[in-house]
Structure 1
Amino acid sequence: MNVAVRTQPTTQQATEHFDVLIVGAGISGIGSAYHLTKQLPGTSFVILETKDSFGGTWITHRYPGIRSDSDLHTFGYRFKPWVGPPIATADEILAYMNDVIEENDLGKHIRYKHKINSASWSSETNLWTIEAVTTDTGEAKTFTAKFLWMCQGYYRHSEGYTPEWKGTDKFKGRIVHPQTWPEDIDLTDKKVVVIGSGATAATLLPNIADKCAHATMLQRSPTYFRIGRNAIEIAEELRRLQVDEAWIHEIVRRKILFEQDAFTKLCVAKPEEVKKELIGQISAILGPDYDVETHFTPTYRPWRQRIAFVPDADLFKGIAGGKASVVTDEIECFVENGIQLKSGRLLEADVIVTATGFNLAALGDIAFEIDGKPLGFGDTVTYRGMMFTGVPNMVWVFGYFRASWTLRVDLVADFVCRLLGHMKEKGAKKVEVKLRPEDHNMPILPWIDPENFNPGYMMRNMDLLPKRGDKPEWQHSQDYWTEKDDIPKTNLDDGAFVYG
């Protein structure tokens, strides 16, 4: 496991000070900066971004066909109407983010190629000191900030997760991970095996199948998919009526969120009914002779892992047309010309793509200290998945799995701006959360209930994440439809908040 380490910069520069320091210029960081400028004008802030451009996950991933698996009417910000198809490409999302930056003059606040090595809180000065280094010149940069707004996401961008398999050194072809997709790779007339069954594999397969000799998705077990047109009928109708895009955005968002809420509840109340509907959609495309039971019938109930949307059924049309196929089996070992499966079958390959997930990096591989002591993030308890016991003046943006990530960006931004305003009114320079007397007998549990949601990238590294309690305020419920009402009502003078 990689751990954050301090590195020795080449030169030392003067310290810059800001009211707020935002970590990351991805979808969370840009949205948070927008809200800060609108809700607390005059607040000084800077965004530090390791990469040489904005975009976060949308510039990290460059594999063929990279697209959202959430609709952009809800993945887009509430303040910026989305006018394209609901499932969007990375380039379309980046163009949308660029518009937000340009229209709101946010670019002047972003420092690109700034890798943060450490963040230290001092109770003497009530300030965070952030040590960074520029990735192109190695120049040291020091910043101080009153408040730290963590928008770096939750996985390590520099490398994806790849399991250890026997014999990978014997394989004569090329092994690539979608998170570090090489620009020089040519899949023309190649036999390609994509290991994995999630949204990445489902996106890659139809987008490389036409070029390859054949593309195979190798999965250990099936996952759920939803199928539909890459269009929203009500949005199309409202545009024909020349309704203002801001109205369309709000109406479509509300409709989608209403339907998502109903679907999520149905997955819990009537899982077999939902399972039958989801698998039935696939069977209708692949036909009665296809073994849907083996390849597309998961053993878990719907929504215990993320359900990816397959626009226009492109994955299943590729399989039905013979350009792609699915194999459900386990890997025995890699061999010179492919993968030996436990069933005894040899799966020949020229290129193997390991679409096997993320490496969790809860605090962006930054070395954190609180008053000179290293922060054990896994030892803290979370307040609504945003703040953490014993960690002053810091909020972390962690989005939703069953709804669009960005919905929580907007919610958390409202909370942070209200909290900063409240601190100013009180004359407080410090705020942290602590368990109240009535919380001390509360059960302390892992970050998320595996019976509720259990993707591999969370289960592998649960020890890196903070703990939760069994009360709503001491957990990240993943329930947008409750949080959208509860978070704005948060009593900032509740005993859970300690000001100084």
Structure 2
Amino acid sequence: MSDYSDVLIIGAGFSGIGAAYRIREQNPHLSYTILERRERLGGTWDLFQYPGIRSDSDIFTLSFPWEPWTRKEMIADGGDIWQYMADAARKHGIDRHIEFNTRVISADWDSATDTWTVQTEQGGEAKTYRGRFLFFASGYYNYDEPYSPPFPGIEDFKGVVVHPQHWPEDFDYTGKRLVVIGSGATAISMIPSLAETAGHVTMLQRTPSYMLSLQRVQPVINGIRKVLPRRVSHAVARVILSLFGSVLWLVARKAPTFSKRLLRSGAEKYLPEGYDIDTHFTPPYNPWDQRLCFILDGDFYKAVGRHDVDIVTDHIDHIDATGIVLKSGRRIDADVIITATGIQLQALGGVTVSIDGEKIDPHDRFAFRRHLLEDVPNAAWCFGYSNASWTLGADMTARSVAKLLAHMDAHGYTHAYPHLGDVHMAEQPVFNLTSGYVLRSQNVMPKSGDRRPWEVTHNYLRDAVGKRFEDIEDHMVFGRATTASAPQAQSEAVG
């Protein structure tokens, strides 16, 4: 494959595969290459291999709108999601455009030729790619370094310490005492699975999380799928469930007291009578101030009710050779400590980005329409929603970029970028959450303005409707290169 492509896509997860499909769909004459640092496609769904890994949103909105999900589950296991992605990429010929084991180090824009030069490391050797447009489909967290707080004394622990992001292959914890530190989506999804073979599991949390029990298999959705053709039923399921998610979020924000009562009633339904819900399942914040955790058919509550899982709400004082000593004076003996303590955010996949040799800091730039960066030419970053399936935002971004590329091609433009100019714009964070991983990374992400199209909203329905009325040239600068660019690759056959 040529080292020049019209579009270079960084990352072969949901965002990258979706971008490739949408770009080729609207621009069949454009060549593209996907640069993937791992040995396989899948992104998150190839990286995370811990027990119980599954989607933390429904699979119908997480899956591609152009490739129906065919299994019966509404909440899908990680392995099945990976296989679905691999099958979709192979079916549409996208896998033939992926360069695996290719880590992108830097990208530099040349304003004279309107070309990106991308430096990569491929099997220990340097390789250069060039392209007209750069699409960052690399997510927003650090694949190499999860968040690991400095627990005092952890170096003295004689057992095994594991972070879910780097789960050891074939790790045997049968009959062992496990302590899972954390109460987020990762801990909630893995604990019921761990409890099936571990001797005992303790979840140690500083503060609880809100949990909502969902059915793994949704009879109503599957009933619709039996009646309607596959592609139609897939679209209908996506609409229904995106509406459900949006309404759930809206009710939580507008009626927090009602939402608290509703979520508490779910806990009461499954937990033993008299269980201390106030301490262990009542967070000190409103629903959706942090992400809501989904559990399947009450599995987490049921494991607690069977005494397979203990919940301890406390703070760590220190860790010693055989366990954890808490601020309250209590200790928890452990054979394995699992630090489900979260992720670290990272902009643009950690790639060093420069314009004419001058490095840029993403945090210095406003985001535009959720996917472009202020005064950064021919570059998009796929950025999902905090309260909805990632792919809802990813597909919207992919279609917008495909439309932009078609517009540039139709008018003979070789560069395009959003420009704020001298307009004063108030700043606000791109995330509307109080989660630790968000608060720790406020100086990492691009800035959000306080009004459209510079505001990063987390209202999918509003964005989906608003996209239909956008003027593609509003706040945008278009132009042509002053000198000839690199020779373009030959057009590739569709598929």
TM-score, normalised by the number of residues in structure 2 = 0.94
SS of corresponding position for 1:363: helix
SS of corresponding position for 2:347: coil
282, 301, 306: which is aligned to 1:297? 282
Is 2:115–2:131's contact at 8 Å kept on the other side of the alignment? yes
2:252 aligned residue: 267
373, 393, 417: which is aligned to 1:432? 417
1:42 aligned residue: 29
The alpha-carbon deviation at position 493 of structure 1 amounts to: 1.7
Kindly tell me: are residues 424 and 239 of structure 1, through their superposed partners in 2, closer, same or farther at Cα, counting changes over 3 Å?
closer
SS of corresponding position for 2:319: strand
Report whether the alignment pairs 1:23 with 2:10. yes
After TM superposition, the structure 1 = structure 2 runs for residues 450-461 of structure 1, keeping only pairs within 5 Å, are 452-461=432-441
The alpha-carbon deviation at position 421 of structure 1 amounts to: 1.0
2:161 aligned residue: 175
Is 2:161–2:336's contact at 8 Å kept on the other side of the alignment? yes
100, 117, 134: which is aligned to 1:148? 134
233, 258, 273: which is aligned to 1:288? 273
SS of corresponding position for 1:300: coil
The alpha-carbon deviation at position 65 of structure 1 amounts to: 1.2
Is 1:415–1:488's contact at 8 Å kept on the other side of the alignment? no
Tell me how far apart the structure 2 counterparts of residues 431 and 495 of structure 1 sit (CA, whole Å).
10
**Structure 2, unaligned runs of 5 or more:** 481-495
The alpha-carbon deviation at position 418 of structure 1 amounts to: 0.9
Tell me how far apart the structure 2 counterparts of residues 495 and 214 of structure 1 sit (CA, whole Å).
58
Q: Following superposition, which runs of at least 4 residues in structure 1 exceed 4 angstroms of deviation?
A: none
Tell me how far apart the structure 1 counterparts of residues 118 and 236 of structure 2 sit (CA, whole Å).
42
CA offsets, 1:267-322, max 9 Å, x none?
A: 12210101111111011111221101000001111111111211111111111111
1:227 aligned residue: 213
Letter in 2 for 1:293: D
The alpha-carbon deviation at position 64 of structure 1 amounts to: 0.6
SS of corresponding position for 1:124: coil
Letter in 1 for 2:75: I
2:239 aligned residue: 254
Letter in 2 for 1:408: G
Tell me how far apart the structure 1 counterparts of residues 267 and 349 of structure 2 sit (CA, whole Å).
38
Tell me how far apart the structure 1 counterparts of residues 465 and 309 of structure 2 sit (CA, whole Å).
45
Is 2:449–2:456's contact at 8 Å kept on the other side of the alignment? no
Tell me how far apart the structure 1 counterparts of residues 344 and 400 of structure 2 sit (CA, whole Å).
29
1:447 aligned residue: 430
Is 2:74–2:215's contact at 8 Å kept on the other side of the alignment? no
Tell me how far apart the structure 2 counterparts of residues 239 and 148 of structure 1 sit (CA, whole Å).
37
1:7 aligned residue: none
2:489 aligned residue: none
Tell me how far apart the structure 2 counterparts of residues 172 and 117 of structure 1 sit (CA, whole Å).
37
**Structure 1, unaligned runs of 5 or more:** 1-13
425, 447, 454: which is aligned to 1:467? 447
Tell me how far apart the structure 1 counterparts of residues 225 and 380 of structure 2 sit (CA, whole Å).
39
Tell me how far apart the structure 1 counterparts of residues 222 and 119 of structure 2 sit (CA, whole Å).
49
Letter in 1 for 2:400: F
RMSD over aligned Cα, in angstroms? 1.4
325, 335, 344: which is aligned to 1:340? 325
Letter in 2 for 1:89: D
After TM superposition, the structure 1 = structure 2 runs for residues 29-428 of structure 1, keeping only pairs within 5 Å, are 29-84=16-71, 85-134=73-122, 137-241=123-227, 243-428=228-413
CA offsets, 1:307-353, max 9 Å, x none?
A: 12111111111111111111100001111111100011001111000
Is 1:436–1:496's contact at 8 Å kept on the other side of the alignment? no
SS of corresponding position for 2:348: coil
The alpha-carbon deviation at position 498 of structure 1 amounts to: 4.3
Tell me how far apart the structure 2 counterparts of residues 488 and 59 of structure 1 sit (CA, whole Å).
34
Tell me how far apart the structure 2 counterparts of residues 253 and 447 of structure 1 sit (CA, whole Å).
25
Identity of aligned residues (%): 38
Tell me how far apart the structure 2 counterparts of residues 259 and 364 of structure 1 sit (CA, whole Å).
31
Letter in 1 for 2:168: P
Kindly tell me: are residues 495 and 28 of structure 1, through their superposed partners in 2, closer, same or farther at Cα, counting changes over 3 Å?
closer
TM-score, normalised by the number of residues in structure 1 = 0.93
Is 1:367–1:374's contact at 8 Å kept on the other side of the alignment? yes
Tell me how far apart the structure 2 counterparts of residues 266 and 331 of structure 1 sit (CA, whole Å).
35
Tell me how far apart the structure 1 counterparts of residues 145 and 260 of structure 2 sit (CA, whole Å).
34
How many corresponding residue pairs?
Answer: 479
Higher relative contact order (CA 8 A, sep 6+): 2
